[in-house]
A and B are shown apart, each in its own frame.
Chain A
């Protein structure tokens, strides 16, 4: 685990070094390219703000009501820490709703706790299956999805197993 932490420290600085180094040698107009790109990210973030407000409020209601206590029974069957079950399930349907739950988890157990780290890794290695299928197939009028959903669920489960195992290293 310590070794992985060590590598993690290097990844982002190295990407910055590589991209900026490559660009300056290529002679492109790097700073205005940066500003253009940053504007895009700025707009996207502002765009999701109303969504986050709505979802964090809904998750807040659910948590304050004591509803998560009821989920512990389900989690015992699935052998995952109780707090993780809703995140994993909701993530398959809606990324932003799962984000709301994830942030709630950070608040209650901390982002650096075992559960906080595991949740972060699982969230990073899974996709919103049902939403994505409906966007992509819906846009071209595909109704028979064949083996897409089983395939995506297998990939998601492999990601969860991988997350649990890699954190045991």
Chain B
């Protein structure tokens, strides 16, 4: 996907630039943007490392595990038919916690494990089970409560209050997650009736 988007932006930009006579700008901007990406990463290094460091502390003292256990009632609600003692519950919970805390890259491997287990529970096949659908929709409804990366970007671009978006972002994320959960539950009910 990224291949096409990237090529599209470059080819379209240069073509339009040629027609609108902006080639000088295009040329300067290309080089400036590359420089800018590096200075952005320097800011990011600080903010991201601080955050993942704090999450390391949370993991080391068992707080992360505690949070995962707190997720269990939510998982029972979302996946009422999953076997209670199955390892998949733990995978789903830690995937959600990692997403909530803004550790997206840590969420993916454990999320894929969860998906594998869900597939073996559903008995294989190439069609998604209801549980798989719920898991993925909730995952994609954006669980992230603390958008660390957005805060880092904002501070790099001179925001006076980089973290001022936190409360609105939490509310907006709640809206999207509630909509995703509601939709999944409705679809599950409809499937039961059939």
Contact = CB atoms under 8 A, between A and B. Distances in A.
Q: Is this pair of chains taken from one and the same complex?
A: yes
Interface of A: 4-5, 7-9, 11-12, 15-16, 19-20, 22-23, 26-30, 33-42, 44-46, 48-49, 52-67, 70, 90, 93-94, 96-97, 99, 102-103, 106-107, 110-112, 116-117, 120-137, 139-148, 150-152, 154-163, 166-167
Interface SS of A by simple majority = helix
Interface string B23-39: 00110111011101110
A23 B57 contact: yes
Interface in B46-87: 48-63
Classify chain B: how many residues form its interface, as a range.
35 or more
B164 A5 contact: yes
Nearest to A131: B1
Contact of A144 (B13, B128, B160): B128
Contacts of A163: 168, 172
Contacts of B149: 99
Interface of B: 1-2, 5-6, 9-10, 12-17, 20, 22, 25-26, 28-30, 32-34, 36-38, 40-41, 44-45, 48-63, 105, 108, 111-112, 115-116, 119, 126-128, 132-133, 136-137, 139-142, 144, 146-147, 149-150, 153-154, 157-180, 183-184, 187
Contacts of A161: 175
The 4 lowest CB-CB distance pairs between A and B, nearest first, are A37-B56, A162-B175, A159-B176, A41-B52
Given A126-B142, A144-B128, A120 B63 contact: no
Contacts of A65: 12-17, 20, 22, 25-26
B34 A53 contact: yes
A4 B13 contact: no
A111 B157 CA distance: 7
8 contacts: A19-B63, A22-B61, A38-B53, A39-B49, A127-B141, A142-B126, A148-B132, A148-B133
B54 A34 contact: yes
A132 B1 CA distance: 11
